[in-house]
Structures are given as structure tokens and as C-alpha cells.
């Protein structure tokens, strides 16, 4: 069957959609998967890190999903059986926030009043809406992933999506299996005594009204400026003496209990006005954040910080009257800035529920906070950030809380869950702590009391909610935790894993070393129902490990719960009985940390509970991949921790290889944001086109890239670096690689179609084919070896770069271009057949090598190439993705030939550089190139391929130069003024003179070795580095010299009259060929041609080279007069000479 004609102008997105239809129609994926299972192939286990089903995919999602598909396709083609299970992350705050936006809800109270007056029904409705949102976007993301080319066991039909999550093809973390398996994990933790409830001052989002775990807090730091205050705390019993305190969170002063000093630091006593202040000696003149200011790590509009001394000078000056050690200050008492508040007078702390816990657990004595104000020791206090005295509010900061417990300070927790001051805080009650007007009130209050010494705008990296971007506060709240004292078990399994890149292991170990206990609770609605039931009378709690256990223990509410998923609010109806007391136990209202959901998937998705044999066959996963930033604290950590616990007492790693990658940025390296106009939607990049704003603010309409181009762009990028993604990089790759591959394929198919080439024709033995055929086949085998090696090492980037080099430099720019005449000639001999067979083999192999990365275009190419084999009906051949991955044929590898050709390509590149140096186009013939080779390889290349060098560089001859007759050219070493000028200064002319008298050959040799150059000047030796010098090569007049790796080329750049005319003839050929193309002539069409020029040089060139012109342009006959109507015409100037061209198909 003949090859189809291939157009060189192609709509790749449309072509990809046609391939999708072909895959669907032929059930290509289903047939492949069935074949894998039928033949019980060896398993390769991939575990999908679930994508959050909350919004459409962006191009940043497509990077990781490309890797996932690429490696699955490769291992399928190398004869493995796969699971092909996609995952969706479903539960948690990320979904809740978006549903709240849709419903225009502002608070948790709004959620609980969705059904007015019915809290239970309101929560039920909200949870249901969260489930619906997950389903909606999971379906959208499924379609987008299919469009990307991902082969997975997808849910495609309405019937698929109508099933509950447990019965779908993709896994959903909201499924009952996933939730109940997490229960079993928590049960194991509880059985080892690791689950506990505790109060802690923790990061809190006032908008979401939820605590933020240590791992989540790292995700949301932003550079912002807050008003920082210098405040005096009057010392009791020391007239007019004060502690000088500084804080960036003035709202916490309401809850001050202590003041910390470093006992090892020296403190000053200084007089300011009629008051005396104590502060750290180093704090007085410290230039705070000076380096950040210099680096531009600053907030716009915020002035440079003044030293504290300058603040005091501007307010009347100061006098240092004494020094003392911080240790001497320990135990001093003072009056706080808000001691008049009722909260400061409460015993054991405030509010009442906190005070009860303090009293029960013995954190502090029966004293009020204001009576407890004293100076305490803390060696972590620094000397230069503020004043060296830190105000301590145990209810408003994690370190403050821990220090307060150690010192027996009663804590004050001033805020409710929305960040608003509670009753008991006077004028602050009812005000939001993050509202700037609250800070205004606080500053006015301090000023009125005479306590405010100074204030400033202070820039710092401050934590924000990772989801809604609201500034976090610290609140003293009770949460549930897993004690991570068993972290050494996790550390051990980390060493059983291959980390790519290798520093991933260190980053994970650093996290494990420094992390705190795992906060697993969230005071929200949509998420894992933590299986913790509490006896409110005694404080006893039980952790339930399964649905079966819950049913057996339930004494109330099971009938209400039956038929519902284990989510709020229905799970909350169930009561169990305390086996110790007989009291009823209720489930805590908290939901789980969402990283529990994704961390359990090596068990919940592999039938751990229902089919242990199946689980053992697929566990651990061979491979996982996700973006590195953040995941060491999140998914990777959750997988490792939960995997170690679930396989205890012999902990096992849940995966063998972890492959991490960085982040997607815009084409200028900036973060993508919708608000900046530089975000690129996946659908736009794949199909519809998109609009972005340039740095000048102007909108730029961009055409779609196609999925294949995106995929190759991702795979060729270094995964350890952020990828710059946009129309610029896409167009560069399209020109450099995609179109080179496509045009080579089109060249082959179109000529093979014209010539009736059949792949079934007996092969010309490779040994009888020309060097260039044997070379491209040899290098093809080397590329196959590279592919297998790098795919197995999960280093697809290395393969992509080698593949680009092969397609661009070797196949397109050399093999096809050097062999065009073998395809063009009319006779059907063995040489032409060898050319077709060689190029067919290369293209057929490349479709399989590239298939995992660019599955669409390789499928299109394969279908046509397979059609040429007569394989099946046209367009219905077996998918390329069913083919085995190529294996290298060692008998085709000719190392010497490959090395000689490598040298040839380098020499030609150098010759082209020499032409460029004198600005002579390749179409202009030149007389001679002389080569002085540095080694036998370059000599062999010249001897073996002299004809190709002549032809490629458009020369009359190439000759080898014997170095015994002296060098072809001599080096001239000169100063690089950009580097050396500033370094040498006044010595510049003297050094130039010394350089001019030096032995240039010796200098050039030293520079090649990277050695420094020493020259003598009047004031001593001057040492110059390679960057300070430049090497040029001196050639005879009319010649140009160039050197590389010791090989010197000397090009005769003189153009004689004969050479000039030949060059003009070549320019005429170019013009005629362009006109043929514009006239839509086919490759085989012959023409009648009319050429006319009134310029004597051009007319002479046409007359002298008429046969050459006819052969190159397929001219069957010449016309001395114009061709008239119907002819294609062109008027153009060649080097200033007018030319009129007319042609018509014969």
C-alpha cells in the first residue's frame, strides 16, 4: 500500500484530535492493557500522586502528568504489565474555599446556616456541594488529561461517573476505602500510644477558621510590612525605669505575660528624657535588615530602617548610664501595657476553658497574668533584631507558649476562631486582630498612656494561609496529634529509596529531623472524619480502625448513618460506649489533615484490605513523581510515615524511586498568575490558543502549541530547574525539532510515494550501502542505546537532548540535505533504493523511540509508514504504542565511521564559521579550504570525506596542510578590554606593550590549557586569566583562519569573476525554486522557464550555467520570450541586478 502524501503545513492540534478519535475507535489502550494481563507480563508499579480535583488543569499540572505518561508508555513498550490508575485528591480546605466562593459565604457561621436554623442540614448540604465540585472538576481534568495524551483506565461515560467513587476506575481520596484505610493507620498509631490531644499556640487562618500545620505553614510565606512598635514596660519598684520592648504584632501586647532576656548578653541602661530604658547593647546601633534592603528584598514604599539610636536621637537624644548582664535582670517585675483589661486579672489565664486546662494540668499557679509579669531567661533572644528584650504572650505564639509553660506563666488566648478579640479585652473586644484599624487603636492607646516610644514599618516574611492567602495569626487551641518519636523508622526506609535528584534524600531527612509532631485535625467540615470517639466526662478516647469495628461498637445512630459515606455530618450521629465507664462516647467534630488522604494510597488503591496477595504483587511502587517544592513536607512525608506505620514492625518504603521536578514559570522566569496576565490555561496551550500580557503590559494573542510540543518541552527540560514556559520557548522548539522531524518525514513519504517505493523490496545489504547510510544507521543504534539507558534511569531529559541533536544536526541538516539528489534522480538503482531503505528504517525507529514522549505525531507518522508496509487498512494499522521499544543492533554500530563523521560535521561547522566571519554566503562558491588537523581523526575525516566538505562548503577543493612546512596561521593574543581594562587601570598601556612582545604561540597554548598568563610590568608581575585575553588567528591577505581543538582551517575568501558568476547562478536557482513553491507545483512537476535580466553579470551567469539551472529546477524547456497568461511570474533583484522570472508547468 502506498504512502499518503504529507503536507508540510500542518495543524498539529487538529491532527492530535484525530489521533484521539483513532485511539478511541480502535480501543488502542484497552487492547494494550488486555494484552499485558493476558500474557501475565512482569509488573511495573506506578503510583499516581493525586491531582486536586478543584479547578481545571493548568500547564503546570501538565509537566508532572507528562512524566507519568511517558514512563508508563515506555515500560509498556518494554514488555511490562501496569495498573494505569489515575488518582484525584478530593477532601480538604482547597475544595471548601472554592465552594464558599461560589456560595459567597464569608465564615463558618455562614456554612452552618446554609439551611437556616438547621446546622445538621447545613453541614450536610455543604459537604454534598464539596463532593459535587470534586466530581465536576475530576471529569474536566479527566478530559484534559486524555487530551494531553495520558493513557489511564479512565472513567469516560456517564455511567462511569454515576457510580460511587469506590466503583470508579480512577481512585478518589474521598472514597470509603481510602477513608477507612486511614482509620486503620490511625488505629495502629493509637495502639502504639502515639495519638494524643494537646493545646498549642499554632498558626491559624482567621478566614478559614482553621489551624495550619507545620508542613502547611511553609507553603504560604509572603514578604509584607507590618507596623512594629517600640514600647516601654515600667519596672515595678524601680522609679522611672523601663524595659524597652519591640514587636511586629502589636495586637499580642494585650496578652503579654512575661519579658525575656538573654542572660549571656550585655544590656545597656540609658537615659531618654526623664525615663531610663534597658535594652541589649548591640541593639542600639544595629543596622537592621541592611543587607535585605541592599539586595532589594524589600516591600515597595517602605523606607530603610533606622537604627534604634536614631529613633531616640530624633526624640530628644539619649545618654548611656550603665551596663549589666541579662542574668542580672532575671526576676524583675513590671507593669504590662494592657493590665487594665479584665483578661489580665483572670486567675490561671484566660478565657475560662483555657484557665481550667492550666489548672488541671498544672501549667501555672493560681495567679493572674498581670501579677505574673516578670523578666525571664531565654538564650534564643537575639541582640540586634529588636531591642534584645522579647515580650512573651503564651497564648499568641508557639515559642511563647512553650516558654510560658516552662516558666509557669498563665496564658491569655485573646482571639476567637475568626481572629476577633473576645470579651474581656475592653476597646479591642469585637475587633479583628488583622484589621489595620485595630492596630491604629492600639497605637493610639499606647501613645495616650505614654508607653509608645516609636513605631516603624517593618518588612518581613510572614506566614499566610496556603489556600486563601490570608495573614495567619497564632491562637492557643486544642488539636489532635501523632507523636513522631518513631521518626527513626521513617528515616531508615528513606535510605531504601532512589532519590532523583540525589539531594532529595537530604531534603527529606532534614525535614524529618526538624519537624514537630504531626497535627492531624482540622476544625472544618469536608474531609476525613477522624475516627476518634471521646468520653467527655472522663477524657478517655478510642480510635476506631474500620467500618466493621464501628458497626460492632455503635450503640446509637447506626441506622441514621447506614447508606452514607463516612463524612460529616452523618458519621457524627454514631455513639459508642466507653468500656471503662459505660459512658457514651461521641466522635470529635474535627476532620483530618488532607495529607492523610494522599499518604494512604499505596494501601487503599492496591487492595490492601480486600486482596493482600494482589497488594504484595504491586507494593512497593516502582516509581512516583511529583513537584519537589513542598512535597518533602507533604505527600512524600505522608507516604513515608504512613507506609512505615502500616508495615510495622518491619517498616518498608512504599516506593522504590522518587523523581522530583521544579516549577513552571512564564517565559521570562516569573511566577504565573491570572492577575498578572501571564498564566497559560492548559486548554489554550493545547487547542484554543491563549492571550498573555508581555512585560510592556500589551496583550499578545498566541496560537495553540499542541500537546506533543508541550510534552517534549517538559521532557527536555532539566527537572531540577524551574521551566520557562511560553510562546517563545515553544516556537523555538517547534522550529528546532518538531518541524525538522515532520519535514524529514514528509520528504521521505512524498518522494517514496512518487517513486512507488515498497518496504517489501529485498534490502540492500548494509555493507553495500554508502558511508553516509551506514553512519546514520550506526548513530541510530547509539541513540537507541541512549534511550534505553536514560529511560531506565528516569533521565528522559538526557535522551531528549541527544534526540534533538540527532534529528537536527545529523538527520535533517546533514543526512537528508546531503542525500537529496539520491532521491531526486530519475533512475531506480540500488543507490536510490538504499537511500529509501535507510531513511525508512530511521523514521520507523524514531516513531517508536519518541512514542512515549510525543504519542500523537508518532502515531500519525507510524500509521502512514505502516500503510506503506501494507499493514492493515489505511489508518487502521496497529498502534505504535503496541510496538516493542527498539533494541540496538550492535552489528550496525561502526565506531570509527561515527567518529569520522563526528569530525566531519565539526570541520564543516568550522568552515561555515569561517565563511560567516567574512560574511560570504554558502551559495557563493570559493576556491579552497586548507586544513591543518590536530589529530589523526580530523586527518582521516578530511581524507575520507573531502568530496563532502567541498560540496557542503561550496568549494572547488580542500587540501591537507603539512605542519612541517610551518603553521597555516599564527595566533595573536590580545587583551579583552572589558575584563582586563578595569583590572589593569593605569598599567594598561604597559601591559599591552609587554603582551605585544611575548611569544604568541606559547601564550595561546597556555590559554588553551586554562593556565594564567604572567607578564612583567615596572611594578612587578601581572597575572591575567583566560577571561582577560582573546585569541585571534592571523591569516595571509585574502584568507581567513579559524581554530578549534588544535585543528586550523584556512579559507580562501577571494572571489574571482568565474566564482562570482557561479554564485549568481545559484541565487537564480533559489528564486526559481521559491516561485515553484508559490505556484503550488508538485515535486515531480517539470516546467518551461523564461529568465531575463538587463544586467550583464546576471545575464552572463544565466547563459554560462544554463544546464545547471535546468537540472536544479526541473526545467524541461527554455522560452526566450515571456510565457503570457497563466504563467507564474516574479520580479526580484539579485545583488542589485534585476531579474524577471516566468514559469509554467509542462
Chain-centre distance of CA 384, in angstroms?
37
Q: Cβ–Cβ contacts within 10 Å for residue 158, how many?
A: 8
Return d(Cα 926, Cα 295) in angstroms, integer: 55
Mean pLDDT of the chain: 94
Nearest CA among 305, 650, 325, 605 for reference residue 454: 305
DSSP class of 736: I
Q: Shortest CA distance to 732 belongs to which of 755, 716, 748, 752?
A: 716
Cis ω before 956 (30° cut-off from 0): no
Q: Are 542 and 574 in contact (CB under 8 A)?
A: no
One domain, residues 570 and 603? no
Closest CA to 662 of 606, 720, 742, 605: 720
Q: Give the end of a domain, one of 594, 621, 646.
A: 594
In a domain, 1141, yes or no: yes
Instruction: Centre a 10 Å sphere on the Cβ of residue 370 and count the other Cβ atoms it contains.
Output: 20
744 domain residue, yes or no:
no
Last residue of a domain, one of 893, 909, 936: 893
Query: What domain range is 807 assigned to?
Result: 750-893
Contact criterion met (CB below 8 Å) for 975 and 1029: yes
Distance between CA 505 and CA 495 in Å, rounded? 8
Backbone phi and psi for residue 143, each to the nearest 5 degrees, phi listed first: -65, -40
Q: How confident is the model at residue 824 (pLDDT cuts 50, 70, 90)?
A: confident
Partner residues linked to 404 by β-bridges? none
Q: What is the DSSP letter of 573?
A: G
Beta strands in 409-556 (DSSP E): 452-463, 473-482, 498-500, 518-519, 521-522, 532-534, 541-543, 554-556
- Grid coordinates in use for 24? 478511541
Same domain, 634 and 532: no
654 neighbors 621 (Cβ within 8 angstroms) = yes
Most confident of the following: 385-399, 972-986, 991-1005: 385-399
C-alpha–C-alpha distance, residues 85 and 154, integer Å: 8
pLDDT at 401: 94
Helix (H) / strand (E) element for 1044: namely strand 1039-1044
The CA-atom distances, in angstroms, between 109 and each of 119, 435, 469, 530, 1029 are 9, 20, 20, 22, 73
- Count how many Cα atoms sit within 13 Å of the Cα of residue 353 in the half-sphere of its side chain: 8
Whether 479 is in a domain gets the answer no
Indicate the angle between helix axes 796-805 and 59-77, nearest 10 degrees: 90
Neighbours of 1058 (CB within 10 A): 12
Same domain, residue pair 452 and 314: yes
Rounded Cα–Cα distance for residues 1052 and 910 (Å): 14
pLDDT of residue 334 exceeding 70, the answer is yes
**Sheet of 1047-1052, strands arranged across:** 955-960, 926-932, 1047-1052, 1039-1044
737, 802 contact by CB (below 8 A): no
User: What residues pair up with 627 in beta bridges, in sequence order?
Assistant: 661
Per-residue pLDDT at 1025: 81
What is the 8-class DSSP label of residue 1035?
-
Distance in angstroms (rounded) separating the CA atoms of residues 96 and 459: 31
Identify the CA nearest to 855 among candidates 169, 48, 57, 71: 71
Q: In terms of domains, do 754 and 888 share one?
A: yes
Edge-to-edge strands of the sheet including 621-627? 498-500, 655-661, 621-627
pLDDT band at 184 (very low <50, low <70, confident <90, very high): very high
Assign residue 237 a region: left if phi > 0, alpha if psi is -120 to 50, beta otherwise? left
Q: Pick from 893, 912, 942: which residue ends a domain?
A: 893
Nine-digit cell at 801? 537532548
Place of cell 507533604: 634
pLDDT at 870 over 60: no
Quick one: pLDDT at residue 876? 63
Query: Helix or strand or coil: residue 1116?
Result: strand
- Is residue 635 pLDDT above 80, yes or no? yes
Work out the average pLDDT over 387-392: 97
Angstrom distance (rounded) from CA 185 to CA 191: 10
Would residue 362 count as lying in a domain? no
With beta carbons less than 8 A apart as the criterion, state whether 361 and 258 touch.
Answer: no
Q: Could you give the strand order of the β-sheet that contains 473-482, starting from the edge strand earlier in sequence?
A: 210-211, 195-205, 473-482, 518-519
Burial class (CB in 10 A: 0-12, 13-18, 19+), 1137: middle
**Tens-place pLDDT, residues 502-526:** 999 999 999 999 999 999 999 999 9
CB atoms within 10 A of CB 238: 13
797 close to 715: Cβ distance less than 8 angstroms: yes
pLDDT level of residue 984 (50, 70, 90 thresholds): confident
Is residue 717, in this structure, part of any structural domain at all? no
- Rounded to whole angstroms, how far apart are CA atoms 204 and 400? 15
- Cα–chain center distance at 724: 9
pLDDT above 80: residue 1007: no
Does residue 922 contact residue 949 with C-beta atoms inside 8 Å? no
The number of helix segments (H) and strand segments (E) in the chain equals: 40, 42
C-alpha cell belonging to residue 727: 510562546
DSSP assignment, residue 174?
T
- What is the total count of domains within the chain? 6
Using CB atoms within 10 Å of the CB of residue 1040, give its burial: 0 to 12 exposed, 13 to 18 middle, 19+ buried.
Answer: buried
- In this prediction, residues 947-973 reach a mean pLDDT of 90
Q: Cell triple for residue 246?
A: 519591640
Same domain, 498 and 579: yes
Has residue 123 been placed in a domain? yes
Span 1075-1084, average pLDDT = 90
Q: How far apart are CA 353 and CA 148, in angstroms?
A: 54
CA atoms of 74 and 880, how far apart (whole Å): 12
Cis check for the bond before 1077: say yes or no (omega within 30 of 0): no
How far, in Å, are 50, 87, 271, 455, 649 from residue 602 at the CA level?
Answer: 12, 11, 66, 53, 17
Cell numbers at residue 879, please? 498502534
What single string gives the DSSP state of each residue in 1046-1075?
A: TEEEEEE----HHHHHHHHHHHHHHHHHHH
Q: What is the pLDDT at residue 2?
A: 83
Give pLDDT tens digits for 422-461. Answer: 999 999 999 999 999 999 999 999 999 999 999 999 999 9
CATH of residue 830: 1.10.730.10
Same domain for 552 and 578, yes or no, is: yes
| pLDDT, position 869 | 65
Assess whether 32 and 144 both reside in one domain. yes
- Band of pLDDT at residue 875, cut at 50, 70 and 90: very low
- Give φ, ψ of 1125 to 5 degrees: -60, 145
The Cβ of residue 607 has, within 10 Å, a number of other Cβ atoms equal to 17
pLDDT band at 1 (very low <50, low <70, confident <90, very high): low
CATH number at residue 280: 3.90.740.10
Q: Is 808 in contact with 737 (CB distance < 8 Å)?
A: yes
> What does the alpha-carbon distance between residue 778 and residue 784 come to, in Å, rounded to a whole number?
10
- Is the model's pLDDT at 1142 over the cut of 90? yes
- Does 575 lie in the same domain as 511? yes
Of residues 998 and 156, the one with the higher pLDDT is 156
Q: Evaluate if residue 873 carries a pLDDT over 60.
A: no
**Residue carrying C-alpha cell 476506575:** 169
How many CB atoms neighbour CB 342 within 10 A? 12
- Indicate the pLDDT class of residue 871, thresholds 50, 70 and 90: low
Structure-block grid coordinates of residue 964: 612541517
Of all residues in the chain, the percent with pLDDT exceeding 90 is 85
Any domain includes 666: no
Considering the domain architecture, whether residues 116 and 196 belong to the same structural domain is answered as: no
Instruction: Give the number of residues written for the chain.
Output: 1146
Mean of pLDDT values over 464-493: 93
Answer yes or no: is 960 within a domain.
Answer: no
Instruction: Compute the half-sphere exposure of residue 662: CA atoms within 13 Å on the CB side of its CA.
Output: 16
The angle at the Cα of 272, spanning 266 to 274, to the nearest 5 degrees, equals: 125
pTM of the model: 0.87
Q: Residue 264 corresponds to which cell in the numbers above?
A: 549571656
For residue 800, which of 838, 839, 846 has the smallest C-alpha distance? 846
Band the pLDDT of 1016: cuts 50, 70, 90: confident
Structural contact between residues 489 and 651, judged by C-beta atoms closer than 8 angstroms? yes
My answer on whether 566 and 609 are in the same domain is no
Task: Looking at the structure, tell me whether residues 589 and 604 fall in a common domain.
Answer: no
Which spans in 6-107 are helix H? 12-26, 28-38, 59-77, 93-103
Same domain, 879 and 796: yes
**452, 233 contact by CB (below 8 A):** no
Burial 260-279 (b: 16+ CB within 10 A, else e): bbbbebebbebebeebbbbb
Amino acid at each position: 500500500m502506498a504512502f499518503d502524501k504529507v503536507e508540510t503545513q500542518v495543524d498539529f492540534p487538529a491532527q492530535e484530535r484525530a489521533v484521539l478519535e483513532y485511539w478511541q475507535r480502535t480501543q488502542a489502550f484497552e487492547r494494550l492493557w488486555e494484552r499485558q494481563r493476558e500474557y501475565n507480563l512482569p509488573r511495573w508499579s506506578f503510583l499516581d500522586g493525586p491531582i486536586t480535583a478543584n479547578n481545571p488543569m493548568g500547564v503546570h499540572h501538565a509537566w508532572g502528568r507528562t512524566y507519568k505518561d511517558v514512563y508508563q508508555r515506555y515500560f509498556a513498550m518494554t514488555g511490562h504489565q501496569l495498573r494505569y490508575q489515575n488518582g484525584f485528591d478530593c477532601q480538604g480546605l482547597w475544595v471548601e474555599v472554592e465552594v464558599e466562593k461560589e456560595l459567597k459565604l464569608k465564615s463558618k457561621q455562614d456554612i452552618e446556616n446554609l439551611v437556616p436554623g438547621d446546622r445538621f442540614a447545613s453541614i450536610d448540604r455543604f459537604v454534598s456541594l464539596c463532593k459535587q465540585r470534586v466530581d465536576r472538576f475530576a471529569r474536566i481534568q479527566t478530559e484534559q488529561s486524555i487530551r494531553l495524551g495520558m493513557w489511564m483506565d479512565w472513567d469516560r461515560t456517564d455511567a462511569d461517573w454515576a457510580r460511587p467513587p469506590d466503583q470508579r476506575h480512577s481512585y478518589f481520596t474521598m472514597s470509603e476505602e481510602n477513608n477507612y484505610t486511614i482509620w486503620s493507620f490511625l488505629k495502629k498509631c493509637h495502639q502504639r500510644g502515639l495519638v494524643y490531644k494537646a493545646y498549642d499556640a499554632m498558626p491559624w487562618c482567621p478566614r478559614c477558621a482553621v489551624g495550619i500545620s507545620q508542613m502547611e505553614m511553609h507553603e504560604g510565606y509572603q514578604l509584607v510590612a507590618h507596623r512594629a512598635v517600640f514600647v516601654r514596660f515600667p519596672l515595678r519598684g524601680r522609679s522611672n525605669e523601663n524595659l524597652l520592648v519591640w514587636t511586629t504584632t502589636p495586637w499580642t501586647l494585650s496578652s503579654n505575660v512575661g519579658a525575656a532576656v538573654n542572660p549571656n548578653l550585655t544590656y545597656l541602661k540609658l537615659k531618654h528624657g526623664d525615663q531610663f530604658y534597658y535594652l541589649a547593647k548591640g541593639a542600639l546601633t544595629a543596622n537592621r535588615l541592611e543587607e535585605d534592603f541592599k539586595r532589594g528584598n524589600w516591600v515597595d514604599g517602605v523606607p530603610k530602617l533606622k537604627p534604634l539610636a536614631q529613633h531616640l536621637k530624633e526624640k530628644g537624644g539619649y545618654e548611656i548610664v550603665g551596663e549589666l548582664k541579662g542574668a542580672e535582670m532575671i526576676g524583675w517585675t513590671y507593669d504590662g501595657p494592657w493590665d487594665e483589661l479584665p483578661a489580665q486579672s483572670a486567675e490561671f489565664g484566660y478565657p475560662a476553658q483555657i484557665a481550667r486546662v492550666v489548672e488541671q494540668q498544672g501549667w501555672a499557679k493560681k495567679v493572674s497574668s498581670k501579677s505574673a509579669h516578670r523578666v525571664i531567661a531565654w538564650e534564643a533572644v537575639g541582640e540586634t533584631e529588636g531591642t534584645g528584650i522579647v515580650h512573651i504572650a503564651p497564648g499568641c505564639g508557639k515559642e511563647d507558649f512553650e516558654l510560658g509553660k516552662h516558666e509557669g506563666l498563665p496564658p491569655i488566648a485573646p482571639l476567637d476562631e475568626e481572629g476577633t478579640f473576645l470579651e474581656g479585652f475592653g476597646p479591642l473586644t469585637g475587633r479583628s486582630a488583622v484589621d489595620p484599624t485595630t492596630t491604629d487603636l492600639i497605637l493610639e492607646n499606647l501613645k495616650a498612656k505614654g508607653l509608645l516610644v516609636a513605631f516603624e514599618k517593618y518588612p518581613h516574611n510572614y506566614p499566610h494561609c496556603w489556600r486563601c492567602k490570608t495573614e495567619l495569626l497564632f491562637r492557643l487551641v486544642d488539636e489532635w496529634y501523632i507523636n513522631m518519636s518513631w521518626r527513626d523508622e521513617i528515616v531508615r526506609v528513606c535510605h531504601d529509596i532512589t532519590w532523583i535528584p540525589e539531594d532529595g534524600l537530604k531534603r527529606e531527612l532534614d525535614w524529618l529531623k526538624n519537624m514537630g509532631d504531626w497535627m492531624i485535625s482540622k476544625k472544618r467540615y469536608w474531609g476525613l472524619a477522624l475516627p476518634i470517639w471521646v468520653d467527655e466526662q472522663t477524657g478517655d478516647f478510642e480510635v476506631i480502625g474500620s467500618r466493621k469495628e464501628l458497626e460492632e461498637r455503635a450503640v446509637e445512630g447506626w441506622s441514621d448513618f447506614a447508606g452514607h459515606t463516612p463524612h460529616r455530618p452523618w458519621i457524627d450521629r454514631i455513639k459508642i460506649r466507653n468500656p471503662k465507664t459505660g459512658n457514651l462516647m461521641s466522635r470529635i467534630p474535627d476532620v483530618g489533615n488532607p495529607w492523610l488522604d494522599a499518604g494512604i494510597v499505596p494501601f487503599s488503591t492496591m487492595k490492601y484490605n480486600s486482596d493482600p496477595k494482589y497488594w504484595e504483587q504491586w507494593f512497593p511502587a516502582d516509581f512516583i513523581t511529583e513537584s519537589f517544592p513542598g512535597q518533602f513536607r507533604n505527600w512524600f512525608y505522608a507516604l513515608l510515615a504512613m507506609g512505615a506505620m502500616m508495615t510495622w514492625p518491619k517498616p518498608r518504603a512504599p516506593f522504590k524511586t522518587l523523581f522530583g521536578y521544579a516549577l513552571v514559570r512564564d517565559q521570562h522566569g516569573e511566577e504565573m498568575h491570572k492577575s498578572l496576565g501571564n498564566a497559560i490555561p492548559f486548554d489554550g496551550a493545547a487547542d484554543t490558543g491563549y492571550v498573555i500580557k508581555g512585560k510592556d503590559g500589551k496583550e499578545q494573542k498566541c496560537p495553540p502549541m499542541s500537546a506533543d510540543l508541550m510534552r517534549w518541552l517538559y521532557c527536555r527540560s532539566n527537572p531540577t530547574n524551574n521551566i520557562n514556559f511560553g510562546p517563545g520557548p515553544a516556537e523555538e522548539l517547534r522550529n528546532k525539532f518538531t518541524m525538522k522531524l515532520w519535514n524529514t518525514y514528509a520528504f521521505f513519504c512524498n518522494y517514496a510515494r512518487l517513486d512507488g517505493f515498497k518496504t517489501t523490496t529485498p534490502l540492500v545489504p548494509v555493507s553495500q550501502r554508502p558511508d553516509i547510510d551506514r553512519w546514520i544507521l550506526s548513530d541510530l543504534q547509539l541513540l537507541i542505546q541512549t534511550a534505553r539507558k536514560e529511560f531506565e534511569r528516569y533521565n528522559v531529559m538526557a535522551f531528549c537532548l541527544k534526540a534533538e541533536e540527532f534529528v537536527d544536526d545529523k538527520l535533517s541538516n546533514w543526512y537528508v540535505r546531503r542525500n537529496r539528489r539520491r532521491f531526486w534522480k530519475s533512475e531506480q538503482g540500488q543507490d536510490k533504493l538504499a537511500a529509501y531503505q535507510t531513511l525508512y528504517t530511521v523514521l520507523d525507529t524514531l516513531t517508536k523511540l519518541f512514542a512515549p514522549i510525543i504519542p500523537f505525531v508518532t502515531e500519525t507518522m507510524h500509521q502512514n509508514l505502516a500503510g506503506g508496509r501494507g499493514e492493515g487498512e489505511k489508518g487502521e494499522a496497529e498502534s505504535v504504542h503496541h510496538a516493542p521499544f527498539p533494541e540496538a543492533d550492535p552489528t550496525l554500530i561502526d565506531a570509527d565511521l561515527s567518529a569520522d563523521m563526528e569530525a566531519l560535521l565539526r570541520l564543516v561547522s568550522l568552515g561555515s564559521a569561517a565563511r560567516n566571519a567574512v560574511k560570504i554566503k554558502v551559495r557563493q562558491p570559493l576556491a579552497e579550504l586548507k586544513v591543518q588537523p590536530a589529530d589523526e581523526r580530523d586527518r582521516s575525516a578530511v581524507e575520507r570525506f573531502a568530496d563532502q566538505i567541498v560540496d557542503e562548503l561550496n568549494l572547488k577543493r580542500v587540501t591537507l596542510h603539512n605542519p612541517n612546512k610551518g603553521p597555516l596561521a599564527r595566533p595573536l593574543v590580545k587583551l579583552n578590554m572589558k575584563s582586563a581594562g578595569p583590572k589593569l587601570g593605569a598599567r594598561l598601556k604597559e601591559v599591552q606593550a609587554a603582551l605585544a612582545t611575548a611569544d604568541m604561540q606559547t601564550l595561546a597554548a597556555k590559554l588553551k590549557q586554562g593556565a594564567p598568563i604572567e607578564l612583567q610590568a615596572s611594578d612587578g608581575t601581572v597575572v591575567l586569566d583566560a577571561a582577560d585575553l582573546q585569541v585571534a588567528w592571523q591569516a595571509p591577505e585574502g584568507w581567513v583562519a579559524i581554530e578549534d581543538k588544535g585543528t586550523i582551517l584556512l579559507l580562501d575568501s577571494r572571489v574571482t569573476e568565474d566564482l562570482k558568476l557561479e554564485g549568481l547562478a545559484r541565487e537564480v536557482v533559489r528564486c526559481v525554486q521559491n516561485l515553484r513553491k508559490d505556484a503550488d507545483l508538485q515535486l515531480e512537476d517539470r516546467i518551461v522557464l523564461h529568465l531575463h535580466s538587463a544586467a550583464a553579470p546576471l545575464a552572463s551567469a544565466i547563459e554560462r550555467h544554463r544546464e545547471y539551472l535546468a537540472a536544479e529546477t526541473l526545467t524541461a524547456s527554455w522560452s526566450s520570450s515571456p510565457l503570457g497568461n497563466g504563467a507564474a511570474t516574479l520580479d526580484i533583484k539579485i545583488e542589485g541586478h534585476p531579474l524577471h522570472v516566468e514559469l509554467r508547468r509542462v
